[in-house]
Amino acid sequence: MNTENGGVRLYAALSVIAFAAVFVTALAVGRYSLSLGDVIDFLLGNLPHDSNPYKVISELRLPRTVIAALVGIGLGLSGLLYQETFQNKLVSPDFLGVTSGACVGAAAAILLGLSAAMISLLAFIAGVVTVMLTLALSKVFQNRSPTILLLSGIIIGGLMSALLAVIKYFADPDSTLSSITFWLMGSCEHTTMGDVAILLPIIATCAMVLVVLRWRINLVALGREEAQTKGLNYTLYRRAIILMATLMTASAVSIVGSVGWIGLVIPHMVRILVGRNTANTIPLTILFGGIFMILVDIISRSFTDAEVPLAAISGLFGTVIFIGILYIKRRTILESDRSRQSIVRLRNRKGRCPGRNIIDLREGLRQRPDRVERLRKDHPDKGHGRIGGSEGRHRQALRKGPL
């Protein structure tokens, strides 16, 4: 236990150092070159307010870097929560339809010619409403299985994708359609400190609540029966987890647009290092998500004259990282599949096969009464007048009636 805690502390310390280094680098790197001394002077308050470096950092790079970190934290935590709550390591923050709904809201606002603030507001509202529709649809099936909720999310997500296609069809191909497409691909280019003031309280509040509830998330991850056995209100905490994940995802997408792979890749990276205990995975997910998204933003604005969409960069690096994760965990996945197959075979052996044999022998006894009489004549005294051997046992079972 001490060795495990020491490893977690080491990873956390290295992650904090890496986060600080990446954050400072993001303030210095860009099309307008700044020295590391300028960044340090800015952080210490020694840079003149009327200088160009101060304006570049305070008005352009600081807001987008903070937004990138918050988006990475929000999407990473959302992916971790969904994967643990629904016991499915392949789900991502958009599997309940929140991302698709937010995209529909933003596209509708752009089609109507609304302001940037209204675009973000409608995207956030549409994302939350989409999750509410998913939960309502899952209740229609009257089944509490996580699979039903997952399928409901796929259904509603498909509906939102269809609505988005309809909006694109009616958009002006010369102006509105290009704006919708660019927004959907994600960008931090036009973010301001006003966006930081909106997103920071949501992400920070949800993250602090999750840190407080980290051991309860472990119990929820065990499933309904196990959690209720340990005295946990499973339904209440699962709804609270879904609510926080939805708020973080909807708020992040409403500010920067659709950004994929973060909520899928980051939780897997963290589990490889420290295991599944959310007391360890939540802090590291916060750091890893922030680092990953800041790096994506640096790459998107540093190597070309026009900014590369965030979705393109995150998708490129996300696929490469996920391939590496699958390669590292290939033996674990194989062993898990073999264990699952062994459990299925064992259950079939204990439950289905003996019962089927008894039923088959009962049917044989019913169809061959002459055999029963012959056995009774050949062994009149064996087993105190009962038919001996396995036939006798099954004959006694037959007298008791059907299974």
| Helices (H), ranges, 112-223 | 116-140, 146-170, 176-185, 193-212, 214-220
Mean predicted lDDT score pLDDT of the chain: 84
Q: Is the pLDDT of residue 17 over 90?
A: yes
How confident is the model over 301-349, as pLDDT tens digits?
Answer: 887 778 899 999 999 999 999 898 888 887 877 776 677 677 767 766 6
- Residue 299's pLDDT is what? 93
Q: Is the pLDDT of residue 47 over 50?
A: yes
- Residue 195's pLDDT is what? 94
Whether 366 and 260 map to the same domain: the answer is no
- Residue 374's pLDDT is what? 60
Residue 333 lies in a domain: no
Whether 91 and 141 map to the same domain: the answer is yes
Instruction: Spell out the residues 6+ positions from residue 50 whose beta carbon is closer than 8 angstroms to its own.
Output: none
Whether 269 and 369 map to the same domain: the answer is no
For the segment 29-42, the average pLDDT, to the nearest whole number, is 88
- Residue 391's pLDDT is what? 47
Q: Is the pLDDT of residue 15 over 80?
A: yes
Residue 64 lies in a domain: yes
Whether 100 and 127 map to the same domain: the answer is yes
**Distance between CA 222 and CA 203 in Å, rounded?**
26
Q: Which of 266, 300, 328 is the last residue of a domain?
A: 328
Instruction: Please report how the helices 369-378 and 389-399 are oriented relative to each other, as an axis angle in degrees rounded to 10.
Output: 120
Residue 53 lies in a domain: yes
**Exposed/middle/buried for residue 217 (C-beta within 10 Å: 0-12, 13-18, 19+):** buried
Q: Residue 281: which pLDDT band, with cuts at 50, 70 and 90?
A: very high
Among 18-27, 277-286, 361-370, the range scoring the smallest mean pLDDT is 361-370
Higher pLDDT, 293 or 138: 293
Q: Residue 388: which pLDDT band, with cuts at 50, 70 and 90?
A: very low
- Number of domains the chain is built from: 2
Whether 357 and 276 map to the same domain: the answer is no
Whether 8 and 109 map to the same domain: the answer is yes
Whether 323 and 346 map to the same domain: the answer is no
Whether 8 and 90 map to the same domain: the answer is yes
Q: Which domain holds residue 90?
A: 2-328
Whether 147 and 204 map to the same domain: the answer is yes
Among 160-169, 290-299, 366-375, the range scoring the smallest mean pLDDT is 366-375
Residue 123 lies in a domain: yes
Whether 318 and 391 map to the same domain: the answer is no
Residue 173 lies in a domain: yes
Whether 319 and 361 map to the same domain: the answer is no
**Do 18 and 291 form a contact (C-beta atoms < 8 A)?**
yes
For the segment 7-15, the average pLDDT, to the nearest whole number, is 90
Six-digit token string for 76: 């990473």
Higher pLDDT, 306 or 187: 187
